[in-house]
Chain A
Amino acid sequence: MGSTSTKIKLRTSDQKVFEVEKAVAVHVIHVHSVSGDILSKILDYCKKHVNSAAGKEDISPEELYEWDANFVKVDQNTLFDLILAANCLKIESLLDLTCQTEIRTTFNIKNDYTIEAEEAVRRENKWAFDMLGV
């Protein structure tokens, strides 16, 4: 374990302590409103995405998309908690993923976009997804 992998400690609302690599937990903000279960799921999500982006894990965009789709196959309460936590921790991509799923579930909408088509529409309208944007 060299100086390249600095670790960070996070304490949750139910007093659990997690130790994670800095790259995975980019924002060290108050997590006292997030429970251990939810934070554990979120760390899984972040780890998966950071590793795939850094090339540490050999996973295609389609496989990642499927992993994401399975990740959000949870009951609505858990989904709702994930949304709140992603918003609190400012994890943009997770917030997008969970909100879309929530909208589609609530309004009973089937996503008829292919992966490429959805990516294309997102890219065209990139500015609208900027959380910090005005």
Chain B
Amino acid sequence: MQRPRFELPEALVMEILSMLQVKSLTRFNCVCKYWCSSFQTPHFISKNYHNNLENNNLNLLLSRCDGNTFQPYLSPLSNEKDQNYIVKQNIHLPFFEDDSPSVYGACHGLLCLFDSSKDKAAIWNPSTREFKILPPSSIQRPPYFSPFEETYLTLDDVSFNDAAFGFDSKTDDYKFIRFVTLTFVNSEEEYAHPHFIYQVELYSLRSNSWKEIPYPDYNPNGKTLGNNYVDGICYWKTETGAYLDFRGLILSFDMRNEKFSVLPIPEFVGSFPEYYVDLLVFNGSLGAIVYPLQRIDTSFDLWVTSEGVWTKQFNIKSIPGVVHPLGFGKNGDLFLRDANDEVLVFDASTQELKELEINTYLDHHRFAISLHTYLESLVHINGIQEVEKYVIRQPTRNASNEY
């Protein structure tokens, strides 16, 4: 019996293909030239990303540090058929050598990785395995004249702390913004007193270049849980710093007009010093997980803000033994760190707290474990395919034994 051959309209074929996983589409590059070039059009890439967004095809990455080698690595967490999250592969990043990179994003499935102690950064699409190394910063470091010591000081160190990665919809460009700390010392003195100058620099993928941005009125202070970019704007925790008027604030940067702005955090959300207010992106909006400093049996409030209005989304009551949230995964699962720095998952629907069987007890610097999520995407970044010099993927023993 002959199986039917059928003529499908080209548009329909592409519509169906746009619903497939990136890995399948990558294989289908070999089918014919037309398919290969179609998959690279902005229209197809956008369609595919939109499908991933609608189906919430979220991938999870845990950033951790090996307890034996002290090398940083990333663990993709997969959960199939409602099983507990497992690690089938570990991703090592020799590009960053011994330093644990900070992970920013995701934005349209892209992540930005950078070393805070060196001028080393890369944009990465983990789905297509494209890796784009950023050029070193071209920003002029200003000289520092110390009137007290009546001499120019020497630039001793350039370090980077807070950053953000996002998209400018006006120019269809991906941008990376970075706060720089310049340390100046008097090289003549034995125990030199350091002086600091701060700068902000912005990288544009489209022009593959850096430019300087005027420094805002506030210093970013404190990490966000996972992504700190949503809908064209990046966010950082900051505060007024005034002694008797210490208030938590949010510093924001608009990727389109490249301007800083400040938002208040209302008292009723959570006030220092009684509460932690950890910023995060939740369901496409800026939000915060608020929880008390003191107790070990912690309850969490999730707040979300839109146009200056803060709404409490829900409360998770008293989870015993848990200390810090790491962020949300799929389906409302909340990842947490307990007093022993083990990673747990709280399933809000079943109210169950589960341990992750991923051997985090073997890790080093467990207080620094962070969770990152990204959607599958075909977005191109003018990079190269992952090479062993920069990225190494190693299946775990479970995965390679399993047939």
Least Cβ–Cβ distance between A91 and chain B, in angstroms: 14
Closest partner residue, chain A, to B33 (CB atom):
A112
Q: How many residues of B contact A (CB 8 A)?
A: 33
- Measured in the bound complex, the distance between the Cα atoms of B31 and A100 in whole Å is 7
Confirm or deny: B30 has a beta carbon within 8 angstroms of a beta carbon on chain A: yes
Closest partner residue, chain B, to A120 (CB atom):
B30
A127 with B129: CB separation less than 8 A = yes
- Measured in the bound complex, the distance between the Cα atoms of B36 and A76 in whole Å is 25
Q: Which residues of B in the span 1-40 have a Cβ within 8 Å of any Cβ on A?
A: 1-3, 5-8, 13, 23-24, 26-36
B31 with A125: CB separation less than 8 A = no
Q: How many residues of A contact B (CB 8 A)?
A: 29
B23 with A128: CB separation less than 8 A = yes
Least Cβ–Cβ distance between B224 and chain A, in angstroms: 28
- Measured in the bound complex, the distance between the Cα atoms of B27 and A133 in whole Å is 13
Q: Which residues of B in the span 372-403 have a Cβ within 8 Å of any Cβ on A?
A: 385-386, 393, 395, 399-400, 403
Residue among B2, B3, B8, B26 making CB contact with A128, cutoff 8 Å: B26
- Measured in the bound complex, the distance between the Cα atoms of B395 and A76 in whole Å is 36
Confirm or deny: B109 has a beta carbon within 8 angstroms of a beta carbon on chain A: no
Residue among B6, B7, B32 making CB contact with A104, cutoff 8 Å: B32
Residues in B with CB closer than 8 Å to A134 are 76, 78, 88-89, 393, 395, 399
Residues on B close to A: CB < 8 A?
Answer: 1-3, 5-8, 13, 23-24, 26-36, 76, 78, 88-89, 129, 385-386, 393, 395, 399-400, 403
**Given contact pairs A109-B34, A111-B32, A124-B385, a sample of 8 additional A-B residue pairs in the complex whose CB atoms are under 8 Å apart:** A77-B1, A113-B30, A121-B30, A125-B27, A128-B24, A128-B27, A134-B88, A134-B89
Q: Could you give 18 example pairs across A and B, Cβ below 8 Å? A: A76-B2, A76-B3, A103-B28, A106-B6, A108-B5, A109-B32, A110-B32, A111-B31, A121-B30, A121-B36, A127-B129, A128-B26, A132-B400, A133-B395, A134-B88, A134-B89, A134-B395, A134-B399
